[in-house]
Amino acid sequence: RLKGGLNFSNIIKTNDKNFNTEFKAGLNAGLFAEIPIISSLAFAPELMFSQKGYKTSGSSLLGGANEYSVTTNFIELPILAKINASDKFSIVFGPQVSFLVSTKETFKQGSDTYQNTIREENDRLKKSLFGGVAGIGIELTEKLSLNGRYALDFQKNNEDGTSQTPIYKNQVYQFSLGFKL
């Protein structure tokens, strides 16, 4: 079974009230299974690729606008319980472990764009994070489902943020289509 769709992610900051961020779009794709336990309850593990991140904008000292964005790519393992509330509607919830694959920063000022895939501060980011997922699913046909969920990392990205990297937790609104083969 396959699924894919869009993420809308942002961060929850814990140490810098002056660092304002906006939601950033990304992709999600992966595999899922549904293993029945009893008539309305199933074990629903997944293996997903998920893009998270955030963006912020401001103005430079010279008066020009600038935009900074961070895209983090994760491999995620949601271990979910699925409650089938009806033939067409389900609820999912459970823990998730996310493994950091890569981070890319983009800085735009006027017509200039600078990208950096790896930087020194990323060495201090946690490579695996524990979080939780809650969401709903709607069966559109026997083979096609529409899914929406909210995921939150319970752990901070690092324990001692820097002036360039605030201490934060990822949060994601995820929308996807599931295809049963």
pLDDT at 170 over 70: yes
pLDDT confidence of residue 31? 97
Residue 179's pLDDT is what? Answer: 96
pTM here? Answer: 0.84
pLDDT digits (tens, 9 = 90+) for 114-167: 766 654 455 556 778 899 999 999 999 999 999 999 999 887 776 555 555 567
Task: Write the DSSP assignment of 83-133 as a string of letters.
Answer: EE-SSSEEEEEEEEEEEEEEEEEEEEETTEEEEES--GGGGGS-SEEEEEE
The model's pLDDT over 50-85, given as tens digits with 9 standing for 90+, comes to 999 888 877 655 556 678 888 889 999 999 999 999
Mean pLDDT over the full length of the chain? 85
Give me the pLDDT at residue 68, please: 83
Positive or negative, the Cα torsion across 7, 105, 72, 158? negative
pLDDT over 70, % of the chain: 79
Give the ranges where 2-103 is alpha helix by DSSP (H): none
In 3-state terms, what secondary structure has residue 19? coil
Q: What is the rounded distance in angstroms from the CA atom of residue 153 to the CA atom of residue 37?
A: 27
**Which range, of 22-31, 35-44, 77-86, 162-171, averages the lowest pLDDT?**
162-171
Mean pLDDT, range 90-118, rounded to an integer: 83
> Identity (one letter) of the amino acid at 48?
M
Radius of gyration from C-alpha coordinates of the chain: 18
For the ranges 4-8, 158-162, 177-181, the maximum mean pLDDT occurs at 4-8
Report the pLDDT value the prediction gives residue 156, as an integer from 0 to 100: 72
Look at residue 100 and tell me whether its pLDDT is greater than 70.
Answer: yes
Measured CA to CA, the distance from residue 7 to residue 27 in angstroms comes to: 6
Closest CA to 92 of 104, 103, 83: 83
- Using CA atoms, how far residue 174 sits from 59, 115, 116, 151, in Å, is 31, 26, 26, 8
